[in-house]
Chains A and B, each alone.
Chain A
């Protein structure tokens, strides 16, 4: 019984750590959707590109890791802005489904581009962080760092959105786009900035993921769908809801994967999502939108 409890506790704690990371993913997605009203189906692929960028600068070019991280974030921020400017903007006035599909096209494109450039070989930056013992729990240092950084980023983003002019403008534009010019705000510029921010958050996630996982053109498929479902669960566009939903989802994955067997955790989480859709279609925490 003792052993069982410890491993269960580990699963719960790991779920918590995973939750932080997923919350970061959800933040970027929710931000873009909440402000621009578009779902970037290719969001996970932005992260994948970020991971490759980091790997390339660090493992291939030999630059220091911190520089590679900064590079990764810069690349994804630019990618996010470019995504909005060249791909999303033309379809902003079209059917919402076209917006979904056009980012679906980007999904294929980025995956393929990564395949062409880097091949399907698994890459790794080769950093092995030690395990850490907290009491009787064995945890991964990489996960702890990821959790801490994710949380810090979320707090930083929150402060940015609430304490700065631009951040407030980002919140405002999602509530009433029409009068933004009356405030002297260039709405397109705000959209672009938001997209860059969403991309940047993806880059941050890439930094954290690259410490834990191998890089492969198709890894986006492993956590992309999860990120969407978390956002929907928390109420699309609801930043706080997404945050909470991330932790709930992560528990399902972690504990479910522990109680049953690895992939079943994911299956369980997805089924949970579908059930929740019927109980509360607007999302668990959606008040408005």
Chain B
């Protein structure tokens, strides 16, 4: 579904990604793991066209979309849950979800999508009139994921969904990942929490200082010596 070929991108004169290639097939869930500063967020920003790619190809369902304006990416079927949740703090939960369904295509299915998200997150339904900024980190994460789901995306991008959350909440987030995956969504997660994320995805890539070092099925990655030594403290 998504193919990234030799992607290079950065910020001004600072290059953060070097010749990155990865792919995500329909129905898969894939993780991009790596340390802080590896360029994981940059990768997702490039995929969502928030920053320009300096070279390489980004292809979604066979269509190369390197040059489309950033606000058209959702129409391609790519929705992102950004780093740090980024909810609109002074909008209600429901307003936030509404924003997720802004595109004309999404608006047509607003009601049913809203019901779906509320069924996935009953807590959000309870708090639908609450200001998003007053919720706890875990609740905000749920709302942010729900917001991205409102557009019925073909590909869901998640940027460090566990960051800044208490371990108990982190557990529930990864449980959520399993559920979403079970619903058939195609997911690309970027995470620092290697141990947990590799248990909920099919495949993974290791990104270090802007380059893909390794890639493969999650069990293989979990078993690899390199990863175990460098990241799992074994």
Contacts and interface: CB of A to CB of B under 8 A. Distances in A.
The answer to A–B direct touch (Cβ < 8 A) is: yes
Interface string B96-132: 0011111100110000000000000000000000000
Contacts of A181: 48-50, 69-71, 73
Contacts of B80: 182
- Interface of A (DSSP majority class): helix
B145 to A, nearest CB: 13
Interface residues of A, number: 18
Contacts, number: 66
Among A169, A183, A185, A186, the one with the most B-chain Cβ atoms within 10 Å of its Cβ is: A183
Contacts of B107: 165
A176 B98 contact: no
Interface string A165-187: 10011011001101111111111
Contacts of B172: none
Interface in B69-98: 69-75, 79-80, 82, 86, 88-91, 95, 98
B71 A179 contact: no
Interface string A186-223: 11000000000000000000000000000000000000
A165 B102 CA distance: 6
Contacts of B186: none
A185 B98 contact: no
A179 B50 CA distance: 9
A172 B49 contact: no
Contacts of B49: 181
A181 B47 CA distance: 12
A288 B133 CA distance: 13
Interface string A32-56: 0000000000000000000000000
B86 A179 contact: yes
Contacts of B29: none
A60 B73 CA distance: 50
Contacts of B79: 182
Contacts of A171: 88, 90-91, 95
Interface of A: 165, 168-169, 171-172, 175-176, 178-187, 288
Interface of B: 48-50, 69-75, 79-80, 82, 86, 88-91, 95, 98-103, 106-107, 148, 151
